[in-house]
Amino acid sequence: PQTIQHLTKLQHMDLGYNALVTLPTEIGHLTNLTYLSIKMNNTLESLPRELNKLIKLDRFMIDSSQEKYIPINMPCPHTICTF
């Protein structure tokens, strides 16, 4: 939802085990996010380029089948955990 952009102080987000098809582009406004999990979203079809704006992201939890959706210019988190 568009209201996600107002959660600018959010540091930890776990969206795992949902039926997400994509993430909202507004996720790029969560610039204090250090942890993001999208694992076990088997219906995921893409990831927004706005993930590039998550410069504080330290841990990115994804399934190995989702690696192909990581934006090319995304700052590399210290840890990308795949399952």
Per-residue model confidence (pLDDT) at position 64: 75
From edge to edge, which strands make up the β-sheet containing 59-62? Answer: 12-14, 35-37, 59-62, 79-82
- Give this prediction's pTM: 0.81
Diameter of the chain by CA atoms? 30
Across the range 30-48, mean pLDDT stands at: 91
* Lookup: tokens for 4: 């996600």
For tokens 């969560």, the residue is 30
Q: Which is higher by pLDDT, 41 or 82? A: 41
Across the range 55-78, mean pLDDT stands at: 76
Q: Which of 25, 26, 39, 31 is nearest to 8 (CA)?
A: 31
Distance, C-alpha 73 to centroid of its chain: 14
